[in-house]
Amino acid sequence: MNQGTLVFAQLMQHLPLTSFHRCVQRYDGDRKVHSFSCLDQFLCMAVAQLTYRESLRDIEACLRAHRPKLYHMGMRSGVARNTLANANAVRDWRIYASFAHTLINIARPLYLDEPFWVDLRNTVYALDTTTVDLCLSVFPWAVFRSTKAAVRLHTLLDLRGNIPTFLHVSHGKVHEVNILDQVVPEPGAFYLLDRAFLDFERLHRLHQAGSFFVTRGKANLRVTRRYSHPVDRTTGVSCDQTVVLTGFYSHQGFPAPFRRVRFRDPATGKYLVFLTNQFTLPALTITELYRCRWQVELFFKWIKHHLRIKAFFGTTENAVKAQIWIAVTVYVLVAIVKKRLHVPASLHEILQILSLTLFEKTPLDQLLTRAIEDAVTREPQNQPDLFQ
């Protein structure tokens, strides 16, 4: 079926273009546009993400070298650097944000059966923030400090499949705890939060919505113990208590009792204090849940290394946000293709293969599966036999 179709075109066939055009109409993206549509802009930026382009001139040179193939890639017009720069600066970034959420809604059901480190049926989210440093003289709108600029990417990650379910891009001065006001709590779900999100009034909103949270306690936490539960100290858990806040303002923010678990990390020897409103799970499970929060740190490191969100193709706020949302869309699209084609490779391996084969005409499923099978069959041959 895909014989003779470019790999890039095969990949884009998994996009719900009807939903994309609805997003464009919602924000009037193609108003007064004659030749370079929002879809053309999205496809150009997707090529830049998948082939690791570094600048607008780099994108222009790459696509002009493949000018006869542009029509077959879905682009209905030529690509000029100034045209793409203007589109990034003017086309509303919310078009691509809405489209990214559409793909997220498609990807999440595909990963419902993914194995998880903790034997738990509930949905588990990790909320965290990463900062992308910018030059203050080039990005004066992204205020952060007196000598530097930055944007912050606030992400709520579904740990089954590592699919981002909520993203918010802000300038550097927005504190991450404020993002809890924008998260819609899901009853029965677990939210793993760093100490930066320790705001008892906001945590009480999660509690009232029927959600569970697991976070770290600070050194100046003032509580009084109500009950002490038996623990197995050989597991590293030194205490499991039901406590109530004693600080005047903190108690007003969270008047209900919650759980305090103290754990000694065997690797570092440090004592860690975890706070949660979940009373039925074993104390050791609470500590293992918080350990899973590091997946969101790995997610940030992954997208910074493998997607173009550190070198931007425009200097305006709209251009930066559009590029970040298109990068997230490409990430989720590759995750969807991985599941639909039953590719055993990791997302990193798939992106590496696509970066070199976008303009070939090999069927996509064969390309990805064959490359992984060849790597697996060659690996033992490269290793000398230890017993010969």
Phi, psi of 380 (to 5 degrees): -65, -30
Say if residues 157 and 192 touch (Cβ distance below 8 Å).
no
Q: How far apart are CA 276 and CA 207, in angstroms?
A: 10
**Residue type at position 371:** A
pLDDT band at 117 (very low <50, low <70, confident <90, very high): low
**Residue type at position 367:** L
Structural domains present in the chain: 7-95+323-381 (no CATH), 204-279 (2.20.25)
Q: How many helices and strands, by DSSP H and E, does the chain display?
A: 13, 9
Q: How far apart are CA 22 and CA 74, in angstroms?
A: 18
Q: What is the pLDDT of residue 374?
A: 60
pLDDT (tens digit, 9 = 90+) per residue, 12-62?
Answer: 999 999 999 999 999 998 888 888 899 999 999 999 999 988 889 999 998
Q: What is the pLDDT of residue 348?
A: 83
Say if residues 287 and 263 touch (Cβ distance below 8 Å).
yes
Q: Which helix (H) or strand (E) holds 253?
A: helix 248-253
Residues, the chain: 388
Q: Which of 64, 61, 55 is nearest to 85 (CA)?
A: 55
Q: What is the pLDDT of residue 381?
A: 44
Say if residues 196 and 176 touch (Cβ distance below 8 Å).
yes
Q: What is the pLDDT of residue 74?
A: 86
Mean local confidence (pLDDT), 82-101:
93
pLDDT (tens digit, 9 = 90+) per residue, 28-37?
Answer: 988 888 888 9
pLDDT band at 72 (very low <50, low <70, confident <90, very high): confident
Q: Which of 97, 70, 100, 62 is nearest to 336 (CA)?
A: 100
Mean pLDDT for all residues in the chain:
87
Mean local confidence (pLDDT), 234-253:
90
Q: Is the pLDDT of residue 382 over 60?
A: no
Q: What is the pLDDT of residue 257?
A: 93
Q: How far apart are CA 304 and CA 323, in angstroms?
A: 13
Q: What is the pLDDT of residue 327?
A: 92
Lowest mean per-residue pLDDT among 155-159, 199-203, 304-308: 304-308
Q: What is the pLDDT of residue 373?
A: 64
Q: Is the pLDDT of residue 366 over 90?
A: no
pLDDT band at 273 (very low <50, low <70, confident <90, very high): very high
Compare 299 and 1 and report the one with higher pLDDT. 299
**Residue type at position 275:** L
Q: How far is CA 209 from CA 5, 68, 215, in A?
A: 49, 55, 17
Q: What is the pLDDT of residue 4?
A: 78
pLDDT (tens digit, 9 = 90+) per residue, 344-355?
Answer: 888 888 888 998
* All residues at 6 or more sequence positions from 160 whose CB lies less than 8 Å from its CB, including other chains: 111, 112, 114, 116, 123, 124
Q: Is the pLDDT of residue 330 over 50?
A: yes
Q: How far apart are CA 269 and CA 289, in angstroms?
A: 19
Per residue, the 3-state secondary structure of 274-328, as one string, reads EEECCCCCCHHHHHHHHHCCHHHHHHHHHHHHHCCCCCCCCCCHHHHHHHHHHHH
Q: Is the pLDDT of residue 387 over 60?
A: no
Give the pTM: 0.86
Q: How far apart are CA 13 and CA 17, in angstroms?
A: 9
